Amino acid sequence: MFLLIGFCSFITATSSNKLLSAVVIHRHGDRNPFTTYKTDPYKDESNWPEGFGQLTKIGIQRQYDLGVWLRNRYDTLLPSRYHPKNVKATSTDVDRTLMSAEVTLAGLFPPSEADKFNENINWQPIPIHTTPPKDDALLAMKKFCKKYQQLFDDLLNSDHVKEINEMNKELYDFLSEKTGENITHVYDVEEIYNTLNTHYLANRTLPQWAWEVYPDNLMMKAAVSLRFKLPCYNRELAHLKTGLLFGEIVKLFQDFVDELWKSPKLLLFSGHDSTLADVLTTMGTFNDEVPSYSSAILLELYQNDGDHYVNILFKNSTGVYNLTLEGCDFNCDFANFTRFFEPIVQPNQTQWEKECENVSFI
Residues contacting residue 127 through CB under 8 Å, at least 6 positions apart: 84, 89
CB 264 within 8 A of CB 85: yes
Q: Does the annotation mark 273 as catalytic? A: yes
Indicate which residue of 93, 95, 273, 333 is catalytic: 273
Look at the chain and count its residues. 362
Domain 2-143+233-357: CATH superfamily is Phosphoglycerate mutase-like (3.40.50.1240)
Cβ neighbours, 10 Å, residue 208: 8
What are the residue ranges spanned by the domains of the chain? 2-143+233-357, 147-230
Contacts of 202 (CB under 8 A, 6+ apart): 30, 32, 56
Please give the helix or strand (H or E) that residue 172 lies within, else none: helix 169-179
Give the pLDDT confidence of 19-45 residue by residue, as tens digits: 999 999 999 999 999 999 999 999 999
pLDDT in tens, 296-309: 999 999 999 889 99
Catalytic residue among 26, 28, 185, 199: 28
With cut-offs at 50, 70 and 90, classify the pLDDT of residue 360.
low
Beta strand segments in the chain, E = 2-5, 18-27, 87-92, 129-131, 266-271, 296-304, 307-316, 319-323, 332-333
- φ, ψ of residue 270 in degrees (nearest 5): -105, 115
Region 108-134 average pLDDT: 96
Q: Where does the pLDDT of residue 359 fall: very low under 50, low under 70, confident under 90, or very high at 90 and above?
A: confident
Question: What is the C-alpha separation between 314 and 291, in angstroms, rounded?
Answer: 10
Model confidence pLDDT, tens digit, residues 69-120: 999 999 999 999 999 999 999 999 999 999 999 999 999 999 999 999 999 9
